[in-house]
Chains A and B, each alone.
Chain A
Amino acid sequence: MSKNKSEYLINRHDNQYEVVIGLEVHAQVTSQSKLFSTSATKFGAEPNTQVSLVDAAFPGMLPVINEYCVKQAIKTGIGLKAKINKRSVFDRKNYFYADLPQGYQISQFKDPIVGEGKVILDMPNGQKEVGIERLHLEQDAGKSIHDLDPKNTFVDLNRSGVALMEIVSKPDLRSPDEVNAYIKKLRSIMRYLGTCDGNMQEGSLRADVNVSVRKKGLKELGTRCEIKNVNSIKFMQMAIEYEANRQVDLIEDGQTINQETRLFDTKKNETRSMRSKEDAHDYRYFPDPDLLPLEVSDDFIENLKSEIPELPDEKKKRFIEKFKLSPYEANILVSDIETSNYFENVIKKSDVKLATNWIIGELFAALNEKNLEITESPISAGNLSKLINLIKDGIISGKIAKTVFEQMMEGDKDPQKIVEEKGLKQVSDPKALEALIDKVIDDNRDKATEYKSGKVKLFGFFVGQVMKVSGGKANPQLVNEILKKKL
């Protein structure tokens, strides 16, 4: 029952509660232009500079579907191993808000473009499959800014009409950790596909989190609450913990849970009721008569399939099989496409085992310390592979390599040049080493005598002394061999 050890359960008195989580992830489609207009979608532009007449809903303006966004959604669907619906329908979701110029959001309700799929998570206790319910395309709304003026609200329509994919999971997630793994995996898949940049700071990825609890062992789902629009994994995890405990407390207190929409207050670390089910909007969904049903052919889908790159799961399998990496190593290296590209570039010309260790060990630590992404690494894949070859060929020791590596981090310098300039080459000439070793034995006569009389532990002392005298450049393997003979 080792599996149970990692189970996420909430204990109250004699009861154990299981937490059931489903996510509605809103992922911004990577696209130059919006879902139904030709306006730009660049992040951080001056307010209201990327707004067309269509985005601002001027009279008589009509939406025209952006084929590129359709392709992106289908590619994502393929990446989620999902069913692609050849016929889908755009509906209007009607509600009034100042940053919703049309008075409705164009979305997909009954007939989404992508149907059921799945995502595989690698959890410490093994793999876990999370079902995907659907993926649909929809427009983003604009942004209301309430804090620029005491009396007025300002509206920025730059986001109005930007294409989003809403990816709805089944209620298959059971812990904050699984949510973390799920979001990361989803993000990884979309970044591999180039369909969403996954940038949570810029709002390209955010989620509505549905949480319910039930006594362990029960099959029936509890009443859920939806926590709206959470924009970081950390906040999602905090919100889930708070919300699950709140629900458990209510049940333990003999109260019932109201189905409602809640907000997560990141400052107070609590969720608060936004509106109850009774107050829920009636969105009056109906098919948008300005748009014909979206129909795609088998050929269209097949063409997109041929554009799909190797995705993390497949890549991981290949890394394990071809390069003999451990699942742990493979997981780390495939987690995002830039890392795996870097890795594959390094091993083009150098040893896989060493490369794996150096990337996962030294490089990640160094990047982490400097708060850099792999794409910003001061050390290019080419130079790291040179460094690894210097080690492999016995030109420098692992220890010296660390010194060289540190210097490389200061700027993308050729390791070979560093070694030459600083004279760091390993001493592998047996005669030179013998001279060194003779001197060390000579200087430590008493210890040599002790060693010979059986104190074999002292061997390490002599190796250390030789290395020290050589400035770390002595070839440790040879030092070992010669020392053994001489002592």
Chain B
Amino acid sequence: MSDITKQSLSELVENIKSKKLSSSEVTKAFVERSEKSKELNAYITEDYANALNKAKKFDEKPDLDLKLPGIPMAVKDLFCTRDLRTTAGSKILNNFVPTYESTVTQNIWNEGAILMGKLNCDEFAMGSSNETSFFGNVQNPIDKNLVPGGSSGGSSSAVAAQLTPITIGTDTGGSIRQPASFTGTVGLKPTYGSCSRYGIVAFASSLDQAGPMAQNVKDCALLHEVISTYDEKDSTSIDFKRNEYSKELTKDIKGKKIGIPKEYRVDGMPKEIEDLWKKGIEYAKDCGAEIIDISLPHTNYALPTYYIVAPAEASSNLARYDGVKYGFRAEGENLIEMYEKTRSEGFGAEVQRRIMIGTYVLSSGYYDAYYLKAQKVRKLIKNDFDEAYKKVDAILTPSTPSSAFKIGEKTNDPVSMYLNDIFTVPVNLAGLPGISIPAGQDAKGYPLGLQIIGKAFDEQNILNIAYAMEDKINFKNNINDWWIK
């Protein structure tokens, strides 16, 4: 089987279960392709030898009842992995090897999957293009010098380029959905509280969620089923009845009411995004869904709200990286000097910018005007969705206001970079699930995604809608392996 890496997760699972393929064969194929794809810079840390060993062990005593039997997989380097370096894309954790495993990755290994390595990401998941990583830019397999999105840029690049059959990312303001959209892949940001945050390097605790990234909706559903568990170690984890998302997946969405929020028609939105959205509405109708115009009146305030709440939490979450206990330390004459040097040298510019914004908005005298007000607006944004969901079952929007851009194009313009998250951020602020599916290409042939937003805990519903639309859209990614010599 020469085309192992072209197979979807579901096909690979099927082939391993029916013993047409061994875990070793599958792992070897993905390792080889990963090794040939160094130019993408998708990996921060490779663990191929261990992966091949684990695959061999799996084959010696295969447990074929598992959901991910012997499936190799690389994960975003924000998940702590026992005995394998975890950097969060930062110099400050360059040498950090956890002695513990995140709940989400543990769930994955418990179902038989095998870790191949750690994928590149924006530093502490702060970025929309993977350009803030200490470990360099990641190439989008769609085209040379194109960003893969961020912060889960290594993840989206690796899935699109078939270096890993599936992966996981984290999404604080769009970090799964935006890179999925930029690479023609599928990415789900689950309801806040669905996946445990235990062992995930924190960016903004009240917004962070781990989620699956895959080549198609079915694979995404299967992986979500594995990673979403209630976890007592995370006080914000929610104990609700979780579906067997892949088994209950259906294309029958007849009569589902899908809302189209007028506020998402933002000024200056490219025509091709507008057209994509219209096309999406037609696809949804074709699937039997009912389209309803809705209003989410506070949408305009989502981005500024996000850029107060997220940096505020981050400024505090990142205080632990001080050179005292682990990670990078720069020597200083005294404690204060050691702190200053460690943190100035250890953190990159974007992380420092957000720590400063966060520190500012929490400072006495500014707290009420910024942080407290942002919390109030956040509530209003959530109320908007609650109101809308009285009328509709899900909401359809574009995933991003543009297709992928060139590396370096927005580096010096943080605000324009932040605007990338304009459609995804409200979903995090409201704690809702959202999925991005590839829905077309722009004139340059770059993928464009549509986002389906669901009610809290209603992942099954948006997966079903995505599954049905995916069938109608019949998207094909144009990837010509330009990076392989």
Contact = CB atoms under 8 A, between A and B. Distances in A.
Does chain A bind chain B? yes
Interface of A: 53, 56-65, 92, 94, 96-98, 101-104, 153, 155, 282, 284-286, 288-292
B300 interface: no
Interface string B336-372: 0001000000000000000000010011100100010
B251 to A, nearest CB: 37
B235 A57 contact: no
Given A60-B197, A282-B363, A286-B312, A103 B319 contact: yes
Given A57-B325, A282-B363, A286-B316, A64 B235 contact: yes
Contact of B199 (A60, A102, A282, A290): A60
12 contacts: A57-B325, A60-B199, A60-B201, A62-B197, A94-B315, A96-B322, A97-B335, A284-B316, A284-B359, A286-B371, A290-B202, A290-B205
A286 B314 CA distance: 12
B235 A286 contact: no
Nearest to B339: A96
Interface of B: 79-80, 86, 88, 93, 96, 98-100, 102, 197-202, 204-206, 232-236, 312-313, 315-316, 318-320, 322, 324-326, 335, 339, 359, 362-364, 367, 371
Nearest to B234: A62
Contacts of B205: 288-290
A64 B325 CA distance: 21
A59 to B, nearest CB: 5
Chain A CB within 10 Å, residue with most, of B99, B201, B322: B322
Given A60-B198, A290-B236, A103 B320 contact: yes
Contacts of A98: 322, 324, 335
Given A284-B359, A284-B363, A290-B235, A62 B198 contact: yes
Given A92-B316, A97-B335, A286-B316, 12 more contacts: A59-B80, A59-B86, A59-B98, A60-B197, A96-B319, A101-B320, A102-B320, A284-B316, A284-B359, A286-B371, A288-B205, A290-B205
- Tell me if A's interface is mostly helix, strand, loop or mixed: loop
Given A59-B202, A62-B233, A155 B324 contact: yes
A196 to B, nearest CB: 25
Nearest to A284: B362
A24 to B, nearest CB: 20
A288 B317 CA distance: 10
A286 B204 CA distance: 13
Nearest to A59: B201
A282 B204 contact: no
Nearest to A290: B205
Contacts of A291: 235-236
Contacts of B100: 53, 58
A107 to B, nearest CB: 13
Given A103-B320, A284-B359, A59 B197 contact: no
A64 B233 CA distance: 6
A118 B266 CA distance: 58
B82 to A, nearest CB: 12
A60 B80 contact: yes
A291 B364 CA distance: 22
A104 B232 CA distance: 23
